[in-house]
Structure 1
């Protein structure tokens, strides 16, 4: 164990050129799926939203994956295509199906603070489409 600690310490204090070319090992090799999907083929965006009690995110659909992480409050996420509903408490996350229409609504008497995380194909022209009037 001490040998491993010394090796790690030596790697940290060695010169930058030595760190620029790390040794390849099975533990650091990327998974096969990651090798097939270049990092620049997807776009990841995150934004923070706050919904007042009873407030809603407009009906929407997106080409990629969407995750909603609730920081505080309670959120109901409804898939308008399948009819599935998720009740998401603070500290939990919901996932939305790409291509399906969804709506999210704050439940209870307190506002909902959440992060909306979108992972879309880089070539997608519009990440999210909202229905008019909502």
Structure 2
């Protein structure tokens, strides 16, 4: 019979199985990247309630490139894998700068824009939680 080892990290549970015939698990390193209850603009994180889809994407944003004014109707999380990204809330003008290793909990349903403010490409790993069909980015009609 196999041996089960469980680890509880934050709110997530990682289960690892090591059977006596396959050999023992030698080492596992878990490094939490972020634990947040609010978006970048201080909103409580809300999640889709029905027909939920998870979409994982990578983004490459060239030096000097700007993303247009847009918003996300549902939760979006990004891990900055390279570069320097500045995100500005269009309503308040408040900006935040994210660098390699930072986790961005994007604002939900608030207009904002972003730009690469560094010399290197910004590389993002983006995770969207979407309700129903369609995407998670709405472009501002005036921009």
- State the SS of the aligned residue for 2:3: helix
Deviation string 1:17-75 (CA, Å, 9 cap, x unpaired) is: xxxxxxxxxxxxxxxxxxxx899642221211111111122221121112221111111
Matched, 1:83 2:108: no
Shift of 1:125: 5.1
Tell me the TM-score normalised to structure 1 length. Answer: 0.63
- Structure 1: runs of 5+ lacking an equivalent: 1-5, 14-36
Listed as ranges, the matches of 1:52-131 within 5 Å are 52-120=62-130, 122-123=131-132, 126-131=135-140
- Structure 2: runs of 5+ lacking an equivalent: 5-17, 21-46
Comparing both structures, which one devotes a greater share of its residues to strand? 2
Kept after mapping to 2: 8 A contact 1:86/1:94:
no
Aligned residue number for residue 8 of structure 1: 3
Deviation string 1:54-101 (CA, Å, 9 cap, x unpaired) is: 112222112111222111111101121232211101011112221101
Q: Aligned residues, how many?
A: 106
RMSD: 3.2
